[in-house]
Each structure stands twice: as C-alpha cells, then as structure tokens.
Amino acid sequence: MNTEAIDRLIEKNSKLELARPILERMQPGKYCIHRSWGFGQIQSYNEEENRLIIDFEDDKKAHPMAPEFCIDKLELLLDSSVLVRKRTDKETIDRLIKKEQNELIVEILKDQPDQKALAREIEKILSYLLGITKFKKWWTNTKKLLVKDPRIGVPSRPNEPYVLRIDPITPEEEILDEFFETKKPKSKIELAEKLLILSNDQQELKDKLPEVLDELTNAINATRQLNYAERLQGVWVRNDLARDIHEDVETLVPTSASIIEAAGEISELAQDLPSNYYKRLLDLLGRVYPENWIEVVLKLLHASAGKLTSECMNFLVEREASKELTQNLETGLIEQTLKAPVLVWILKNRNSKKYGSLMDPLITPRLLSAIFYAIDYEALQNAGTRRIPLADLLSDDSDLISDLLSTSDGETARDLAQTLLLNQGFENLTKKSLLARFIGQFPAIQSLVEGSDGKSDKEEGLLVSSASFDERSKELETIIHTKIPENKQAISVARDHGDLKENSEYKMAKEDQATLLARRSQLELELSKASITDFTEANDTTISVGSVVNAIDNSDNTEQTFTILGAWDSQPEKNILSYKTPLAQSMLGKEVKDRITLKLGKNESSYTIKGIRRWVDSK
C-alpha cells in the first residue's frame, strides 16, 4: 500500500490513524500469519477494490482481504524472522533445527521486543516452523539444552520469559546470584539443592557452599512462611550441605526428627513433599518411631497415592514387615477401607516377582467388591467427567475379573455382577463389556441382563433425595448449556488450525466432546429413572430407605450406626449408605434383634440390629 492509499483509508475512518504503522508495512512481498489460514505472503494491493491480495499456503491463493480488517487479524513478520527465513533461506534454518537447536532459539529471541519471550510465544513460532505434532518433542529436548547455555536466561516459573543476555553468564552463576537475591525461603531451599548438585564438578562453586549453608540456615530459622514439608526439605538440604563441607550436622537446629514430631499428621506432610524425598521420609519415620514404625507407615500407606504408595509397600517389605502388611491389607478389604491408589497398586503388582506371593491371599472376590466400592465412591465424589484410574484398570486388564472370580461361587459372582450394574463409575458400554467377563465364567448371570424371552428387563427406578437430584440436574444443565457449547467452539477453533490428521488440539477437543456427550447421556438416563423422596415414609420398626440403624458387629461386639438414604447420597466415611449398596440391601426389611449376614466370597460380616429410628427425626 502506498501513502496515498493509506491516507484515503484514514480519511474515511479517522480511528485508523493509530494503525498507520501497521498499514505502512502491508507491502507486496511481506510475509504474514493469519489466525485461521496460517502462513501467507502479500502479493499486491487492489486499490480500486481496496483489497490486499494474499497467497496463503495450503492452496488458498490470491485471497482478497480488506486492509482495515487485517489490522488485528494478520500478523506481519519481520524479514529476519525464522519463519520468513524458513522460506527465503531454508537450508540455514533446517540446519539450525536439526543440529543447532540453541542457535534457533537465539535467532527467535533476537526478533522479540527486549529480546525476551514467554514459552507460549516461542511455542507458537515453533508450531508454525515444525508443525503442531512435531514441535512439542523438539521443544522438550531443546529446553534441556538451554539450561546450560550462558547466552539464554531460562525462566524458573512458567509466567517468566526466556531472555537473550547481553553479557552471558553460566547457569551456575545465575543460580548462585538468584539464591542470595531471593527473599523467599522456599526458593532458597530449591536453589541451594541445585547448587549442591552442581558443586560436585566445580571447585569454585564448592568454595561458596559455606556461605550458602549459613544463608540457608538463617532463612529456615527466621521464617514462618514454610509449612512442615517445606521446612523438612530445607533441613535435609541444609544437612546435605553441612556434610559436604564437613560441618557437624548434630549441632544444627531444627532437626528433621523435631519437625516430624511437631507435624502431627504425617500424611498431610507427605502430600506436600517432593516425591524424590519419600524414601528419606520413611527412613526418618523408622528412626523417630522405633517401637511402632510399622503402624505409622501402614497409616501413611492408607492415605497415600502414586509413588508414595509404592515406596511405602517397598519399605515395609524390605524391613521384613511383609506379614503385618498382608494382614493389614486383608483387614482393609474386610472393612472396605482400602482407597483406590492402594487397590491400583495391588492389582498392578499381583503377578510381580517381588510382591506376587504377598498379594496372592488378596486376589479374591472380596477384592473385587472393594474395587467396586472404591470406584462408586470416587464417582460420587466427582461431579465432573474426570476418568477414574481404578475403573480404567479393571476395564483394560482382560484377565483381572477372571482372576478375582477364580475362587468365587455362583451366588457371590451374581451379587458382584449386580453391584457392577448399580455402580456409577462405569459407562453403560463398559458395564456390558465387564458383565460379559462375568458371564464367561458364570453363564447364569446372563439372567441379570436378559429376561426369559431374551429381551432386556425393565430398568429399576432409583429413589433419590431432593438435594442429590438437584445437584445432578445442575451438572446436566452445566454440561448442556456451558460445557458442550464451549467444546463446540473449541472444535471450531482447532479445525481452523489446518490438517486434522496432525492437529492435536482438534483431537483433544473431539475426545472432550465424546466424554461430555457420554456424561450427558448417563445423567439423562439416571435422572429419568429417579424418584425424589423426603424419607418421611420410613418408620422406627422396620429398616427402610430413610432409616438410621444401630447395629452390633458380632465379630467384636462393637456398636456402629448406619444411615440408609437415597441412591446418590453415599458418604462412606460417615457411614451414610446408598440403599443400593450390598450392606444396605441386606438390612432392608429387618427389625430389631434380627441378625444380618453379609457374605462376599469366603468371608462374612455379621450384625445384630439393636435400634431403628427415622433419619428425618434426627436432622
């Protein structure tokens, strides 16, 4: 565009004066990027029609666009941009991509304002340069190399930029400077840990460690900003520094033992501790609690997840507490107190060389019951559509149900299949697939899903509370009116990015769509079967939905209170049961002094009813 053409545009619309510098850059030969159509090059300007003529790649040639429309839709590239040079000097840029990754990032940063850019800004350029499916792996590998490049300042936090330095400094010098400059004790701990590791190969840095130790010790003692896990990590880093420079660790306070004693709830501390410290934590527990360390670690195990679960299991086995571990897990199965992460670990390690023999006694129908209970509980806690790992594991492992039912009788298998049908943690198609595995071992279970004429039985209705009905109705409304429309927009935007075969954003959006539609169907089905009750029909003579039951556990003569409410009201930690659960089902219709026996596999639980009252009277 020439000056006269720009002046005429501004004369028609005075607001365009602010955009004059951009309009002046819209010249033939200039490369550009459009949000939807990708990379292009301005070929000419049609003054009569006031249109830029742009050739976009992927066969969108000679595309006319109004200049004023392009101001915020078209990104005009500098001639020095690597994206332009990919077209004008392809050999050089290809060499940088393949062999000199750091140099490519340097070239990208040179073109940025103040020679700095956020990771997402660099990733946008790389996605155009390498393609959406290829740049992520390239960028992951390159970031590891950038850490060691003195020319580039690598951010310590996601919202900070990569910086091209005027005066290059080594990464070690940068970390040391940052350590002494930061006022945040948590950052000091993390930086001191890095310095200790780096000092193994650098004497100059090792000579600075006494100063680092003094600074870190003062920071730990002076601050109240650290939680127990952060303070414990800081003490361990401090101790490692002291040992490295031959200082007496015993004279330093606080000690790691004093922090454990003050923390109280070890599981909460462990949740905030980096996973690479789990082994050290367990060793410390063994020293702090020499008499009852097994009990302490078992308690931690039951509240654990992920790597901590594995570390607890391994610690107990290596410390020759295998017998106590197995007994504890068996008790957890009987009482249905094992949480999903522990159950996942048991299933994944049931055939391992190291743990297989320990897990053998647990591979029973009772374990399958505990799995269904944990899945149902997690589904009730998650109103969203997040996947349940334990449910996925049960579905993906084709041999698992067969193994768990190997010692089962037909009646127990049928009860478990019924529990599966009522479980809210599986989609209908998954339930059918899992039921097929039951039927493969126990053909009589086919009657659960087919009537005598071969047609599906009419699905049973659900009694639900008003609060739980409203909660699920609200979730359905959110999915229909908010999440699904947002997902449709995301699919539309992702589709504009180009080739759908190599478009990860499009694939992710379509996967989200499938999940949302499946959850919508599930909620619509459940709500259509639901009948709201206020539990006022319950009485104090016979157990029904809406009863509060006082029962004596015949195994140890202790008294427990159970509340039986609607299908979606379970709160196992408070002994509030859905009337659909096996225990609640065994109680319905019983009266005071009646005895209840709940059989799962070879194990039985027995209760005697002591008292019955209405839940509505105790609200």
Report the chain (619 residues): mean pLDDT per 10 consecutive residues. Answer: 89 90 94 88 92 87 90 90 94 95 95 93 92 90 90 87 85 86 93 90 87 94 92 96 92 94 92 95 96 96 95 96 95 89 95 90 93 85 73 90 89 89 84 88 77 42 90 89 83 62 68 78 80 90 94 90 93 90 90 86 81 89
Residue 1: predicted pLDDT: 78
Whether the pTM exceeds 0.75: the reply is no
Asked whether 387 and 378 are in contact (CB, 8 A), the reply is no
Q: Note if the bond before 254 is cis, omega within 30 degrees.
A: yes
Residue 244: predicted pLDDT: 93
CA triple 543-546-549, angle to 5 deg: 50
Distance CA 128, CA 431 (A): 43
Half-sphere exposure of 441 (CA within 13 A, CB side): 22
Distances (CA, A) of 206 to 185, 199, 211, 337, 581: 21, 5, 10, 50, 63
Helix ranges (H only) for 245-288 are: 256-263, 266-271, 278-288
- Delimiting residues of CATH 2.30.30 domain(s) in the chain: 3-76
Residue 455: predicted pLDDT: 38
Distance CA 190, CA 233 (A): 9
**CATH class given for the domain over 547-618:** alpha beta
CATH fold of 3-76: SH3 type barrels. (2.30.30)
Q: Tokens standing for 404?
A: 């768990």
- Delimiting residues of CATH 3.10.50.30 domain(s) in the chain: 547-618
Distance CA 390, CA 394 (A): 6
Residue 453: predicted pLDDT: 36
- Delimiting residues of CATH 1.10.287.180 domain(s) in the chain: 462-532
Residue 503: predicted pLDDT: 60
CATH fold of 462-532: Helix Hairpins (1.10.287)
Q: Tokens standing for 269?
A: 């501390």
Q: Which long-range contacts (CB under 8 A, 24 or more apart) does 61-66 make?
A: 63/37
Asked whether 350 and 406 are in contact (CB, 8 A), the reply is no
Handedness of CA 474, 505, 75, 37 (dihedral sign): negative
Residue 450: predicted pLDDT: 56
Q: Tokens standing for 90?
A: 């392809």
| Phi, then psi, of 569 in degrees rounded to 5 | -105, 5
Residue 601: predicted pLDDT: 59
